Structures are given as structure tokens and as C-alpha cells.
Amino acid sequence: MASNAKTCALLSKLSAALASFSLSRPLSTSSAPADASPLASASPMPWEEPVTRARRPFRSKRPRDIASSIFISTIIAAPVYVIDNIRCQERTQKMDKPPILQIGPYPQWDQEPLDATFQVHRYFEAADKEKLLAEVGPSIRAIATRGELGANRAVIEACPKLEVISVYGVGFDAVDLQACRERGIRVTNTPDVLTNDVADLGIAMMLCQSRGMIGAETWVRDGSWAQKGLYPLKRRVWGRRAGVLGLGRIGFEVAKRLKGFDMQIAYSDVEAKPYASDMTFVADPVELAKQSDFLFVTLAASAATRHIVGHKVIEALGPEGMLINISRASNIDEEALLGALETGKLGSAALDVFEGEPKLNPRFLALDNVLLQPHHASGTIETRKAMGQLVRDNLTAHFAGQALPTPVL
């Protein structure tokens, strides 16, 4: 669109210049004086009146004058035609692009193709969001959002023509699914493409917290190594017991990585999984915590899983246990977790998600037995590009009348 605007401006200047040039020059290229015609000097015939300056005979334009006139007129008109054509194309493209509401920002590599394909209204940039919804809501056909932002009932109801919500992320608990069901609105997410990166970070958090790597770096940087000697001893990882609460895509990838540490692996889910025959199934999360030194929370969030990790699970994990959450904050009772960490009833925690993030409870900041991460489990360039592509693929498929690649509803 910006390049088209520049082209129009340039062509307008060219058209004006050519028009000015044509008006400043005579069409004839003859160098003879106006009264130098042979008819002006010849003796008139008896039946003719003498030719004077005040009265000259009609003279047809020469062919070269006519051609010059046509050429200049064409040159002047051409830029105007091109400008009108460009503006017409832009209007057509705008009409062809489905209007969508973008709830939160995306990386530039995702934003540019999204803008090129859809008529994007940026909800997150609006100073008065209610006013924006009142203005564009009636025309919105799709919502592009992020997992932690979702789309609540108020936003959904402000868009009566809404057909699909495409979530940038695997979690969709922030989308009001009931409101979507009531109106037959489709919902998609971006599973699989982020699974391995999330599992990687979960393992990294376990290693980092268990071996005290953040504190160890500080020990070197602040001179403690030179002044105080060796860094305090920490706990090993290999050969110990690991529990995985929720053996879905991410949970299974976590368990696969834990095998490389020769750990005893158990899991809890709604039922035993046929693809996990070499792992121990424990139906009760409390019992799973009792059998674990490290408890990974990898559940999809829902009303049924809210605070599934509460006082009983945390106490069962105990003062030597570590809780690692790479799922959703709502799966853990934060008040119970903070109380256990502050009193030593839970050994430690490694967390990538928080209630009210990014404004997490300040009590976390005062603790030295918790590793805090800024909800970046899927935060690699490769994965984020794949997630953005899948968001667009779902939107494009919907408007093309094709099957959605990754439907939730």
C-alpha cells in the first residue's frame, strides 16, 4: 500500500509537469513568421478580397501538429489512468480481504503477511477499546489472538459476524468456548509445532534449578568464588524419580527426555496411555506427587484442572521435591504454592507461567528457592515462525471453505 501511494504521487507530479509543458509551447514546430504565408504576399485574384493580418484564411493543422497533440494528450492522461487503476485495485483488495480483529501483537515476520492477506484491526493498539469494538465489531469475521490473551464473551458478542478464532499458542483456555459453541464459531490453536521446545525448556528448568546454575553464575560474577571458595553443593538429577501430570503431547516429550537421565518415570492422566507402556500409571495426582522428586505439570488447562495442584499435592511432593510448571498458571493454587515455598514445606519450584502475568505476585520475587521464567517455553525463532504460519493457515483455510488444519471447535 505504501509503495502504491508513492507511485501515485510520482505520477501526479509527472502529469502536472507534462500539462504545464504542453500549454507553454505552440503545437506547430514551423519557424516562419505567422504572416509569412505565400497567400499573404501574393496578389489577390479579382474575385478575392486581399488577405490581411486581421483576416487570415482557415488553415488545417499539419499532420505533425495533430500527432504532437495526440501524443502529449496521451502522455498527460496516462499517469491519471494509472493512478485511478491503482486506487481501484486497492479498493478491490480491501473489499476482498476479510476483516479480522487482532487481540495482541505478533512478530514482524508474522504481522506483515497477516496484513497483506487480511484487513487487520489492531485491538491491542486502541486507546479506547470499547469504541474500536463499536466501530469495527459489526464487520469482524475472524479473531487472531494469543493463548494467554484469548477472547472473552464481551469481545465475541461485539462481533455478530464472527466466524472463527485462531489462537497463536497451544492453550485456548482464555477463549470463551461456551460463547463460541452457542454461535457455532470455530476455534483453532497451534499444537505440535511448539511441543518440543516447551519440553526442552521444562528439562532445562529442572537442571537449572536442581544444580543451582543461576546462583552459581552469580557466585562467579560477584567474586564469591575467589573470596569464599567453592559454590554450595546441590542435588543431582539422574537416576531420581520424575512424575508427569498430564501425558499429552508435551508431557510425553518431557517423559522421553527424562529417560535420558535414567530416571524412574510415572505419570497421571484421565486414563492409562497405550503409548506409555514403559512408564508407571498413577491415577491420583497426590499419590503421583508422593512418588516423585520432580513433578512436571503439563496439563491442558480447563475448569476441571483448575488448582489441581493444591495443598495436598504440594505437601505430598514435600520439602525435598521440586514442582515444574510449563502448562498454565491456573493448574496450580498459587497461594498454596507460595505458602509452601516460604515455609519450606516444598523444596523448590521452577515456573514459566503465573496468575496475572506479567504482573506476578511480588512474593515470588523474595524467594531464592524458585526459578522464574517469563512464559517463553515456546520462545524460539523457529517455533514462533511455525506458530504464526499455522495461525494464518487456519484463517486462510476457513475463508476458502476448506478443512481447518488444527481445529479445537
Quote the CA–CA distance of 403 and 409 in Å, as a whole number.
12
Q: Mark whether 182 is an active-site residue.
A: no
Strand partners, 370: 349
Quote the CA–CA distance of 255 and 294 in Å, as a whole number.
12
Radius of gyration (C-alpha) of the chain in whole angstroms: 37
Cα 328 to chain centroid distance, Å, stands at: 19
Which value, to the nearest 10 degrees, does the dihedral of the CA atoms of residues 49, 52, 57, 61 take?
Answer: 160
Q: Mark whether 241 is an active-site residue.
A: no
Quote the CA–CA distance of 313 and 337 in Å, as a whole number.
10
* Catalytic one of 375, 384, 392, 398: 375
In angstroms, the Cα distances linking 166 to 124, 172, 303 are 16, 9, 21
What one-letter code names the amino acid at 71?
A: F
User: CA 319, 322, 328: angle at the middle one, nearest 5?
Assistant: 130
* Catalytic one of 141, 328, 392, 398: 328
258, 265 contact by CB (below 8 A): yes
Check whether the bond before 358 is cis (ω within 30° of 0).
yes
Sign of CA dihedral 194, 195, 197, 201: positive
Cα 118 to chain centroid distance, Å, stands at: 13
Q: Mark whether 55 is an active-site residue.
A: no
User: CA 361, 366, 367: angle at the middle one, nearest 5?
Assistant: 100
In angstroms, the Cα distances linking 279 to 140, 201, 317, 327 are 48, 22, 19, 21
Closest CA to 199 of 188, 191, 211: 191
The conformation of residue 44, written as its DSSP 8-state character, comes to: P
The three state secondary structure string of 48-60 is: CCCCCCCCCCCCC
In angstroms, the Cα distances linking 248 to 216, 254, 258, 300, 324 are 34, 10, 15, 8, 16
* Catalytic one of 182, 320, 357, 382: 357
Map grid coordinates 504542453 to a residue.
Answer: 22
Catalytic residues: 328, 357, 375
